[in-house]
Amino acid sequence: LTAQSPPGDHQLPRVFREALFQVSTMLTSTGYLTVDIRSSFFPALSKQVFIILMVIGGCVGSTAGGIKVLRFGILVRLFRTQLQRISLPRRAVTPVVVSGKIIPEAELERIAALCWSWLLLIVLGAILTAAYSDLDPWQSFSGMASAVGNMGPFYFSVHKMASLHWLIKLTYTFGMLAGRLEIIPLACLFGTWRTMAQQHGI
């Protein structure tokens, strides 16, 4: 955001301050705003960055939303490792290492499953939002990303949120629960209920 300001812009200190604050609030999912993120104060590229930050979220072990910074970093390293394996012999050992510790394959699979489930939930929610409202794809994606990440800000008005179809609100409610409980435990819960129902012939 700061880099997009014109050279010699006298508002550069304010732009940097607002950008720093907004990045912090997106990563920590505190939801505070000093400037409406829908306004022209934020260029289009900055708004795209905000969405990415909503998805990444805070640190592992914190109460912040998102897939968490550590998991995102591991996912990036896993992707890089997979690219390296293409040009290496099959017997080559290319572990994913974080802080000198090798991440087990089972843990990598769990992290990848969580991240893909997270993104799939956002995409499905965005499609449903776009189908049952007059919001554009960008606004629909921001609404679901904000819900799943427990962030708060989104790219349409609060009044518009209040008038959305009940199915969209129900989807956002499920997204908030899934995002806070990290999706997989919630899926396991529903899976347990389904198994119990089948055992009792329900």
Q: State yes or no: pLDDT of 131 exceeds 90.
A: yes
pLDDT in tens, 143-173: 898 888 888 778 888 788 888 999 999 999 9
* C-alpha distance across the termini of the chain, in Å: 55
Q: Give domain status of residue 4, yes or no.
A: no
What DSSP character marks residue 104? P
Task: Please report which confidence band the pLDDT of residue 125 belongs to, taking 50, 70 and 90 as the band edges.
Answer: very high
Q: Give domain status of residue 55, yes or no.
A: yes
> H helices within the chain, ranges in order?
12-28, 44-56, 69-86, 105-131, 137-148, 158-162, 166-181, 184-199
Closest by CA to 71, choosing from 88, 50, 55, is 55
Q: How many domains does one find in the chain?
A: 1
pLDDT in tens, 169-186: 999 998 888 888 777 777
Q: Give domain status of residue 3, yes or no.
A: no
What DSSP character marks residue 96? -
Structure tokens at 82: 């997979």
For residues 53 and 149, is the Cβ–Cβ distance under 8 A?
no
The secondary structure of 44-57 as a DSSP string is: HHHHHHHHHHHHH-
Residue 98: strand pairing partners: 101
What's the domain range around 171?
12-199
